[in-house]
Structure 1
Amino acid sequence: MSLITNVMDHSLDDGYAEAAARKKADGSGGMPRTLRAKLGLAAGLVLAALVVTVGAAQARVAAPAVAKEREELIDRIEGETSAADRLEESVDTLRDDVSARQREALEKNGDGGRSDLMGVLSGAVEVHGPGVKLVVDDAKEADTGGDGQPRGTSGFSDTGRVRDRDMQRVVNGLWESGAEAVSINGQRLTALSAIRAAGDAILVDNRPLVPPYTVLAVGDGERLSTRFQDSADGLYLHALQENYGIRTAISAADDLKLPAAPSLIVRTAQPITEKGTS
């Protein structure tokens, strides 16, 4: 009877309670760690899926507006481009009209040939005819020259690159050799043109050029080519090729076409009076 009384007075709940307390103190009580990790991962995946879903929904809502803005921007660009093309055509038409009126006025005075010649020499009119095509390009490995020596202390640090003063000498040599009109990469040169450097770029009338530099010169092709190559500037270009690897190629052409110089402005003009008149 004493055993039954002891079991009744002291139940097993106290032992279970003591064991649970020890597990809790050791950190092993409650939910298992593996289960807690799985639940945390599941919660993170649910949160990520929710964020992606919300983002996709917002993108779907904003897509029509973005597409509309893009179409409007494209329409504006195309409209402005068309307007610029029309203005350019108008400028060309007006330039041709001015040139025609000038020739007409000079022909009345028996001096139409001078007008054509002045238009060619000044770059005011488009020119085509035989001439020379000269291509100048940087060396294949443009870090150092052939002997590793720098070409002076000013200008580009890269001795294998074509510099502004090189192009100046090329153009001046062509003029001196008898060229009637010259262009570089499609830009017509005039008496007011300037070839300068800005950093590592060569500028012609403040417009940057990209190598290779294609120089077109209208004139007596074979004679112009020979005279240029025999001139001091032609020999200078040949020395750049031999010593620094700068690539050059020159050839005579039967028909070259050079555009008129853009935005050519007549700054001053005076009527020509015949000698002997008062």
Structure 2
Amino acid sequence: MSLLTNVMDHSLDDGYAEAADRKRAAGDAGLPRTLRSRLGLAAGLVLAALVVTVGAAQARVAAPVVAKEREELIDRIDRETTAADKLEGAVDTLRDDVSARQKKALRTSGGGDQADLVGLLSGAVAVHGPGVKLVVNDAKEASTGGDGNPRETSGFSDTGRLRDRDLQRVVNGLWESGAEAISINGQRLTALSAIRAAGDAILVDNKPLVPPYTVLAVGDGKKLSTTFQNSADGLYLHALQETYGIRTAISVESGLQLPAAPSVIVRTAQPKTEKGTS
């Protein structure tokens, strides 16, 4: 405490205090005494004031220019945003037109029930009918392991989260059990759909989904539910529930609504030939 008190009472080192006393005794302290020194000090002060004044004047002159450039930049951003919105609208219109033409081609080429079946299996048309609703969610006390990267953990028990491979098994099990159409959180699946992981998120066709995952499967509801729960993938899901606390709920529904896939890529096509031409 004595050291702290001494430091607070004598903030200036004794050596500095003695040097200041010697300068005062020699008459060197305070303002310059000679005329030349005073003129030099005055010139320095005038120069400093001039620099500050010129800087302030330049800032005042440049302010409107900067403001104008800022307004021009904002206007340019608004114009580019409007143009991008128009292009996006045009792309959506063209996409809808292509989708309509694809649906029309499916109806006219196959004819009748065959065309409807092709559209159903390809995901090109919306589907409604009976089926199964399966809701899958993470464990209640799910945690993130491996710095938030599920690929850095060795098993489901490390995080308590549903993995992409778990959802893959659920979907494949429903297909094998007789599902005619499947969607996950409103995202329609096709034969080309991919279920992948990016960090903690599960991606379906590169679109991130958040739990709970609602899987809708159109088909013979009771038969589909029984067959899936007795299958290897259904038993795998049950094991996740019993062992790791994953939450699941399955129910038979009389009326499900599944949207069409956002885009169906045409892999092969043949030109249509008119009758009577060679």
Distance 2:193 2:159 in 1: 25
1:265 counterpart residue number: 266
Secondary structure at the aligned position of 1:216 is classed as: strand
Alignment gaps of 5+ in structure 1? 1-19, 32-46, 272-278
1:256 counterpart residue number: 257
Secondary structure at the aligned position of 1:249 is classed as: strand
1:103 counterpart residue number: 107
Q: Is the 8 A contact 1:124 1:264 kept in 2?
A: no
Q: Is the 8 A contact 1:142 1:158 kept in 2?
A: no
Closer, same or farther in 2 for the Cα pair 1:59/1:221, shift >3 Å?
A: farther
Closer, same or farther in 2 for the Cα pair 1:23/1:202, shift >3 Å?
A: same
Cα displacement (A) at 1:77: 1.9
Question: What's the % identity of the aligned pairs?
Answer: 55
Using the size of structure 1 for normalisation, the TM-score is 0.64
Closer, same or farther in 2 for the Cα pair 1:53/1:217, shift >3 Å?
A: farther
CA deviation map 1:61-117 (0-9, x unaligned): 52343233223313322322232222222222232223223322333xxxx211111
Cα displacement (A) at 1:164: 1.5
Q: Is the 8 A contact 1:156 1:199 kept in 2?
A: no
Alignment of 1:33-52 (within 5 A): none
Distance 2:78 2:232 in 1: 53
Alignment gaps of 5+ in structure 2? 1-20, 33-50, 273-278
Correspondent of 2:75 among 50, 71, 76: 71
CA deviation map 1:19-58 (0-9, x unaligned): x997244876559xxxxxxxxxxxxxxx99x989987885
Q: Is the 8 A contact 1:144 1:244 kept in 2?
A: no
Q: What is the aligned-residue RMSD (CA, Å)?
A: 4.1
Q: Is the 8 A contact 1:174 1:224 kept in 2?
A: yes
Q: Is the 8 A contact 2:142 2:159 kept in 1?
A: yes
| Paired amino acid for 2:107 | R
Secondary structure at the aligned position of 1:63 is classed as: helix
1:81 and 2:82 correspond? no
CA deviation map 1:164-212 (0-9, x unaligned): 2101111012112221111223332222323233444433334443333
Alignment of 1:13-52 (within 5 A): 23-25=24-26, 29=30
Distance 1:158 1:58 in 2: 60
Cα displacement (A) at 1:160: 0.8
Larger Rg over CA atoms: 1
Distance 1:124 1:78 in 2: 31
Q: Is the 8 A contact 1:164 1:196 kept in 2?
A: yes
Closer, same or farther in 2 for the Cα pair 1:218/1:60, shift >3 Å?
A: farther
1:92 and 2:96 correspond? yes
Distance 2:58 2:225 in 1: 71
1:129 counterpart residue number: 129
How many aligned residue pairs are there? 229
Distance 2:58 2:140 in 1: 54
1:194 and 2:182 correspond? no
1:211 counterpart residue number: 211
Distance 1:68 1:91 in 2: 34
Q: Which moved more, 1:231-240 or 1:50-59?
A: 50-59
